[in-house]
Amino acid sequence: MENRALLDEYGSFLRVERGLQPLSVEAYLSDLQQFAGLLGARGLLGARREDVAGFLAFLAGRGISARAMARKLSSLRGLYRWLLRSGQVDADPTLHTRSPSGWKVLPKALAESAVAATLAGAEKRAARPPGAGTSARERGEALRDAAILEVLYAGGLRASEVATLTAGSLDLGSAQLRVLGKGDKERVVPIGRAAVQALEHYLREGRPRLAAPREARLFVTSRGRPVTRQFVWKLVKRATGGASPHTLRHSCATHMVDHGADLRSVQTVLGHADIGTTEIYTHVAMARLRAVHRAHHPREQRWGGKAGQP
């Protein structure tokens, strides 16, 4: 009962004072409940450093990835910093616990050709006129799906951010969106001409066939209701053959860096609060730098006729 009351209070702190989204709060509390389940009668207030180490060992034994373990450790650190500030504990059991090194591994990204094929397929379906086996509603759905995919990749948006876009979020004349991200923080995201064109087609020919007149959300289902985060996940998985919206988000960032974008720009687009989060893409820039070095450094060219060949 002590753990439950403590987590209820901490959840309120995350929602009200930190301004976190419900899904984020749910994820943090789930991690903490898992940890509390291993502590027994001592509860969260009685946790020791060896308990944290044991928790990580337990997770590793169950095959949990280093990245997921690092997220759970971050959840524990957030709780115990709060407990220290509020005077409920005298020491932080997570102090000096090293985060699993795997958290810096770059998430998987699709090849540019794979993204191009996905977007081209969506555009082709959206270009089918009503009739000849395509109803007006199906045409509207195809235009919506194409616009969602373009926006996800062009702006590196999260699924939840796409689902909460409104018609008022758009500034197509300037090719940008106002996005409500984590912690209710708003940012302006630039999008390209392809995404602008897909949105214009959807607004002109698709959304009027799907949305109720007073619906504020930008993207709606065939029943006129706002799409959900789960809807966006299913759409992307179907369109890409198994990838997730996060994969498109990481693809956006990876391809930007690969084409010369600096990390600060990528941080702004993705809405990362800390540049450290964006630094997982550094190795992409380094790989490109190595390729340039092989292609243009005279000592490299001396050792082979073509760049990079020994």
Q: Which two tokens stand for residue 15?
A: 């929602």
Give me the catalytic one of 72, 144, 249, 255: 249
Q: Where are the beta strands (DSSP E) in 89-237?
A: 170-171, 176-180, 186-190
Note the pLDDT of residue 195: 95
Give me the catalytic one of 182, 187, 225, 288: 182
The answer to whether residue 108 is catalytic is no
**116, 187, 112, 186: which is closest to 150 by C-alpha?**
116
Give me the catalytic one of 72, 158, 207, 250: 158
The answer to whether residue 182 is catalytic is yes
Note the pLDDT of residue 288: 61
Note the pLDDT of residue 63: 81
Over the stretch 74-98, which tens digit does the pLDDT of each residue have?
Answer: 999 999 999 999 999 999 999 888 8
Q: Residue 205 carries which DSSP code? A: I
The answer to whether residue 255 is catalytic is no
The answer to whether residue 246 is catalytic is yes
The answer to whether residue 15 is catalytic is no
Q: Which residues of the chain, if any, have pLDDT below 50?
A: 103, 305-310
Are 49 and 95 in contact by the 8 Å Cβ rule? The answer is yes
Residues recorded for the chain: 310
The answer to whether residue 283 is catalytic is no
Note the pLDDT of residue 105: 54
Note the pLDDT of residue 227: 96
Q: Map out the domains of the chain with their CATH numbers.
A: 2-104 (1.10.150.130), 112-259 (1.10.443.10)
